[in-house]
Structure 1
């Protein structure tokens, strides 16, 4: 069963990478269109800038939630690399507990705020802010799940190795 779950997880991760690549392509095309409209056609359009900002926010949060592996995260590598396996487990447990607690405490307020933002929309593309910022709720839930998993793995005395955390 574990191999099947790894296969499904790998397939889903690759599809998330594909979606990120498409978002990056769309952002690049919007950037090129902005240059074309502004400098070649002497027209000022705002939707290209707005689309770029929206896509950048979604790329960062969606990518952090579903594509970036733990090994790719920024950490105090000097401390982590010099620590023994037992100390790494303790560091993982403490950081997992802190992050799950902080994201968990903030989640109800975040959901309320994102829900409240349905009354506002972006200036040019008229995207409702609750739709726009819903990716942060997804990100927060994904971080809670990720760090619960990592904390449980560390509590089980599973070796915390850079290659094992994906």
Structure 2
């Protein structure tokens, strides 16, 4: 599992490096050589899209997500676990419902290509399908963990007597 986590982090760092290099290259080409190019902007935007969705799917841990917890922070562990299960079930259902339409749309985008890189949009936007499947899988795992008495967001097991 650690190897996969490292791989996910390396991919994210690589995408960030691509954005940085493209940005610097764009500045140098425009202001030093007076040669404005558009492909660097396209590379930066596409790498940003992949970085955000890749990071949310594989790098960000549950305890690192931003949560509005003013309700769950003021209830007991059992209620918090129940709220976590309900929330995760809702996420699984909603993402599963949108997945066929998202797949159809991404597949349809094979008819379009990017302006400068001449890459098909279905390839560029395929990261959204990967992201959706990862969100579903993560929330299914959260449901299992919560039913076992562990809180994935806290990254610490709940007390033995508090399981549902």
Give the TM-score, by structure 1 length: 0.89
Match of 2:14 in 1: 22
Q: Deviations over 1:133-153 (max 9, x none)?
A: 100000000000000111122
Match of 1:139 in 2: 131
- Aligned residue-pair number: 156
Q: 2:35 aligns with which of 31, 36, 43?
A: 43
The 8 Å contact of residues 85 and 159 in structure 1, kept in 2 or not, is answered as no
Q: What's the CA shift for 1:27?
A: 0.8
Is it true that 1:68 corresponds to 2:70 in the alignment? no
Match of 1:153 in 2: 145
Q: What's the CA shift for 1:101?
A: 0.5
Is it true that 1:103 corresponds to 2:95 in the alignment? yes
- The separation in 1 between residues aligned to 2:112 and 2:150, in whole angstroms, is 47
Is it true that 1:33 corresponds to 2:25 in the alignment? yes
Q: Deviations over 1:118-146 (max 9, x none)?
A: 01011001111000010000000000000
Give the SS at the match of 2:23. helix
**Following TM superposition, where does structure 1 have runs of at least 4 consecutive aligned residues deviating by more than 6 angstroms?**
none
Q: 1:52 aligns with which of 44, 48, 64?
A: 44
Higher relative contact order (CA 8 A, sep 6+): 1
Give the gaps of 5 or more residues in structure 1. Answer: 1-8
Give the TM-score, by structure 2 length: 0.90
Q: What's the CA shift for 1:83?
A: 2.9
Give the SS at the match of 2:125. helix
- The separation in 2 between residues aligned to 1:44 and 1:95, in whole angstroms, is 48
Is it true that 1:93 corresponds to 2:111 in the alignment? no
Match of 2:111 in 1: 119
Is it true that 1:130 corresponds to 2:118 in the alignment? no
Q: Deviations over 1:73-97 (max 9, x none)?
A: 1111333333321121111111101
